[in-house]
Copies of this chain bind each other. A is one copy, B any other.
Amino acid sequence: MSTATGPGELSLAQALNAALRDAMGDDDRVLVFGEDVGALGGVFRITDGLTAKFGEERCFDTPLAEAGIVGLAVGLAMGGLRPVVEMQFDAFAYPAFEQIASHVAKLRNRTRGALPMPMVIRVPFAGGIGGVEHHCDSSEAYYAHTPGLKVVTPATVEDAYWLLRDAIADPDPVVFLEPKRLYWSRERVDLTTRSAGPMGRAAVRRAGTDATLAAYGPTVPLALQAAEAAAADGISLEVVDLRTIVPFDDETLMRSVRRTGRCVVVQEAQGFAGVAAEIAARVQERCFHSLAAPVLRVTGFDIPYPPPKLEHAHLPTVDRILDAVDRLQFDDEPDLRHTGMAA
């Protein structure tokens, strides 16, 4: 991922904005709403210009109530519309948890398909931006553990555009997690074509032979940096960007691990019972006899997200990934330093 700037380049935030604009242009049923998404264009400006272009009926500010926002989306989806709602930050989606877990995720199943819930719940996701408490949670595991939801997170500018288009077009509800710290990352992209597969497929971002790094969202660039650094030391790391957490692309990841024989999963969220645990469990279930070492996890610590001055200590780093790679060892010593996981 390039971080240089220049003409023809787009930030991830701009790509998201373009995806919303194009989706609204293509389909009248697509509505965008939430807190501050209208005149302000959202606190991250992802909805910038949408009200100006499509009018207040298509992109509008709601009262400040997340359960209400998601519940309104449920009713609109029942009525044939395609709501795309914004939760202002991860932790501010929690008031909507009941609506999401008990209705968004279950209404299609409840009614044997009569009430599908095509909607997108956009969530500025994870940390690394120096936000004060409640602004940097990683909440993907809550959603991924809830059957009926799809869970998607882009790591590249191109994916930001296309995965959001896919999510809006999808017949099922999608929790769309936008890595906050990548909002301002820029790439030179041509959005008329796509290089990675559709939503639901993982992508091998870098080929390698010695071990597989599995990452998603904010940790993908980190994994790529780690692979770059390892290459200098003669270690060849393959980087798999999961892109879609649910449904999970077992095929791409398992193919990689069966070949490399080693795997490190990198996730920003606290480790315990997170998505990295699922990935580690799946990989050892499916590739056990190909594995030369346990699947290790590099995750945040099992603590509430730290204050801005301390987040650096909590977040996975390139060094921690490299340390874990170094420790893809051959005995049972619980040598799990820097993984946020140990016993």
Identify the A interface with B (CB < 8 A): 67, 91, 94-95, 97-98, 101-102, 105-106, 109-110, 133-134, 141-142, 144-145, 147-148, 246, 248, 250-251, 254, 258, 269-270, 272-278, 280-282, 284-291, 293-297, 301-304, 330-332, 334, 336, 341, 343
Asked if B288 and A277 sit within 8 Å, CB to CB, the answer is no
- Residue from B109, B273, B302 in contact with A141 in the complex, judged by beta carbons closer than 8 Å: B273
Asked if B284 and A284 sit within 8 Å, CB to CB, the answer is yes
By Cβ-Cβ distance, the 5 closest A-B pairs, closest first, are A250-B343, A94-B98, A280-B281, A97-B97, A288-B294
- Provide the residues of chain B in CB contact with A91, threshold 8 Å: 98, 101-102
- Provide the residues of chain B in CB contact with A280, threshold 8 Å: 277, 280-281, 284-285
**CB-CB nearest in chain B for A249:** B343
**CB-CB nearest in chain B for A138:** B145
- Give the complex CA separation of A276 and B102 in angstroms: 22
- Give the complex CA separation of A336 and B283 in angstroms: 13
Asked if A294 and B304 sit within 8 Å, CB to CB, the answer is no
Nearest chain B CB to A215 CB, angstrom units: 16
Asked if A270 and B332 sit within 8 Å, CB to CB, the answer is no
Q: How many copies of this chain are found per oligomer? A: 2
- Give the complex CA separation of A125 and B48 in angstroms: 44
- Give the complex CA separation of A101 and B133 in angstroms: 12
Interface centre among A109, A273, A286, A291, by most chain B C-beta atoms within 10 angstroms, is: A273
Enumerate 26 A-B pairs (CB-CB under 8 Å) in ascending A order.
A91-B101, A91-B102, A94-B97, A94-B98, A102-B134, A142-B145, A145-B270, A145-B274, A147-B301, A248-B272, A248-B343, A273-B277, A277-B277, A277-B282, A280-B281, A280-B285, A281-B297, A281-B341, A282-B341, A284-B284, A285-B296, A285-B297, A287-B332, A289-B330, A289-B331, A289-B332
- Residue from B141, B295, B331, B343 in contact with A145 in the complex, judged by beta carbons closer than 8 Å: B141
- Give the complex CA separation of A134 and B280 in angstroms: 30
Q: Say whether, besides A273-B278, A282-B341, A302 and B147 are in contact (CB < 8 Å).
A: yes
Nearest chain B CB to A275 CB, angstrom units: 5
Asked if B343 and A304 sit within 8 Å, CB to CB, the answer is no
- Provide the residues of chain B in CB contact with A282, threshold 8 Å: 277, 341, 343
